[in-house]
Amino acid sequence: MTSPSIVWFRDDLRLADNPALRAAIDREEPIIAVYVLDDGSSGLRMPGGAARWWLHHSLASLRERVTERGGVFLLRQGPTAAVISELVAETRAGAVFWNRRYGGPERELDTGIKAALRQRGVEVRSFAGSLLFEPWTVRTGSDTHFSVFTPFWRACLALPAPRDPLPEPRELHGPRTAPASDDLDDWQLLPTAPDWAGGLRETWEPGEPAARVRLREFLEEDLPHYDTARDEPAAGATSLLSPRLRWGELSPFTLWHDATRQEGAGRFLSEIGWREFAWHTLFHFPQLATRNLRREFDAFPWPRLKPTRLAAWQRGETGIPLVDAGMRELWHTGFMHNRVRMVTASFLIKNLLIDWRRGEEWFWDTLVDADDASNPFNWQWVAGSGADAATYFRVFNPELQAKKFDRDGHYVSEWARDAPTEPIVDLGETRKAALAAYETMRRAR
Ligand code: FAD
């Protein structure tokens, strides 16, 4: 009698360099791949609208690739622990393998599932597939975790180098009769009424094959200009790999392996380091999306929310060209260049005096790369309340930022040609008000 291996896919929607999948292949029993759509009942944060669009297409691509290789890929919906438990019983699986997640509720859920299955005699193993360095392995001299990036990254680089990526399997053997699967369309991950995803379709092709193509293209064509042009939103010099990493279509080990073989990749790799730092910070501070990392910011005197101002920011109707261009790029493509993310976030927090959490929620819903770590980590970084954060009184001036990083105005004219020209706030006055609010907070300490 066979005892199949279940590979539980989560944020690792790929075949190449997938250690959980590799372990299942090595076990030499039929493989059942599964993805569980949890409705949030386990305390997990549900993906936002743009991320759900990406998830739909990435799952469709992965399922096709698994099937082409002779495997089965199931979709099941419901509370994760119950779904996995039932699938093990139904298929008489002897093993369940997965790649680790690092958010608080995810870890709690996975630990519970692991313990329950082991009690039933099922082999359960988890693997490192999403981060180059496990969060508990990077420690300061006094055995604490790092709160400043530069020594953090230095410590990472002093550890044994990340392992080589694992090859992509050519064949997968599923059970003779495939267990039932949901229909992906029934999950309704795609927007319908209205269908706002036209810009996403124009911009992206989710799935592992397209991720590999983009990595190759970036390393060959764009990496040489990365250091000098990465801050210019119109230059097209960055990798656009963030959604690929978010959904695990591309493993950071593959990226590391391929990029370290190129000349001058240090700066690019240190950006991957920021991703690691964000995830390590979430591991040590699971409430990153809701609580100030620096507790003194709990006393920040946010004024009462003016919904019309928040709406003007969301729609790209602030009358500040670089801000409006960024917010319109985001709405249309599900993406925004990093420099512009910093400028739009700073404008919301410091010129509109709106709590960073409102901005984080909007990005969560509209970014295809929104993840549990990088999004709140960076919002807190801009707000000044986070790890190794920009100081609060560093207020980006969006006009000067545009002069410096969009000299010829290409980015603004691409995205904000027809935006309003009358600013909703005075940049100088609001900057002063923000600094005064910051002083009030400091005095409240
Ligand atoms: P590249 O410049 O090519 O960088 C390569 C990779 O490094 C990126 O794909 C990303 O995985 C990682 N990276 C680069 N910068 C950062 C950073 N500051 N923090 C964490 N990882 C980084 N990134 C996300 O992946 N998801 C988010 O939800 C997210 N939200 C953000 C919110 C705000 C307010 C800000 C200021 C930044 C946010 N970022 C987020 C970080 C950054 O803007 C994006 O990772 C980057 O723009 C993606 O473009 P790229 O892949 O071309 O980057």
3-state SS of the chain is: CCCCEEEEECCCCCCCCCHHHHHHHHHCCCEEEEEEECCCCCCCCCCCHHHHHHHHHHHHHHHHHHHHCCCEEEEEECCHHHHHHHHHHHHCCCEEEEECCCCHHHHHHHHHHHHHHHHCCCEEEEECCCCCCCHHHCCCCCCCCCCCHHHHHHHHHHCCCCCCCCCCCCCCCCCCCCCCCCCHHHHCCCCCCCCCCHHHHHHCCCCHHHHHHHHHHHHHHHHHHHHHHCCCCCCCCCCCCHHHHHCCCCCHHHHHHHHHCCCCCHHHHHHHHHHHHHHHHHHHCCCCCCCCCCHHHHHCCCCCCCHHHHHHHHHCCCCCHHHHHHHHHHHHHCCCCHHHHHHHHHHHHHHCCCCHHHHHHHHHHHCCCCCCCHHHHHHHHHHCCCCCCCCCCCCCCHHHHHHHHCCCCHHHHHHCCCCCCCCCCCHHHHHHHHHHHHHHHHHHC
What number does the ligand 1 atom closest to the CA of 337 have? 47
Verify cis geometry, omega within 30 degrees of 0, for the bond prior to 194: yes
Q: Please count the other Cβ atoms lying within 10 Å of the Cβ belonging to residue 418.
A: 8
Q: Is 39 exposed, middle or buried (0-12, 13-18, 19+ CB in 10 A)?
A: exposed
Distance of alpha carbon 73 from alpha carbon 171, whole angstroms = 14
Ligand 1 close to Cβ of residue 241 (< 6 A): yes
pLDDT of 385: 95
Close Cβ partners of 216 (under 8 Å, ≥ 6 residues apart): none
Q: Atom 45 of ligand 1 has which residue's CA nearest to it? A: 242
Residue 374 CA, ligand 1 centroid: distance in Å: 7
Q: Atom 52 of ligand 1 has which residue's CA nearest to it? A: 240
- Ligand 1, from 219, 378, 405: best to mutate by most atoms within 8 Å of Cβ? 378
* Paired tokens of 397: 């001036």
Ligand 1 close to Cβ of residue 274 (< 6 A): yes
Ligand 1 close to Cβ of residue 371 (< 6 A): yes
All domains in the chain, ordered by first residue: 1-129 (3.40.50.620), 131-162+207-284 (1.25.40.80), 295-444 (1.10.579.10)
Ligand 1 close to Cβ of residue 17 (< 6 A): no
Q: Atom 47 of ligand 1 has which residue's CA nearest to it? A: 338
Q: How far is CA 152 from the centre of its chain?
A: 20
Residue 375 CA, ligand 1 centroid: distance in Å: 8
Q: Atom 21 of ligand 1 has which residue's CA nearest to it? A: 275
pLDDT of 389: 75
pLDDT of 245: 98
Ligand 1 close to Cβ of residue 271 (< 6 A): yes
pLDDT of 286: 97
Positions in the chain short of pLDDT 70: none
- Ligand 1, from 102, 130, 214, 271: best to mutate by most atoms within 8 Å of Cβ? 271
pLDDT of 42: 73
pLDDT of 390: 74
| Whole-model pTM over 0.75 | yes
Distance of alpha carbon 30 from alpha carbon 176, whole angstroms = 8
Q: Atom 44 of ligand 1 has which residue's CA nearest to it? A: 338
pLDDT of 233: 98
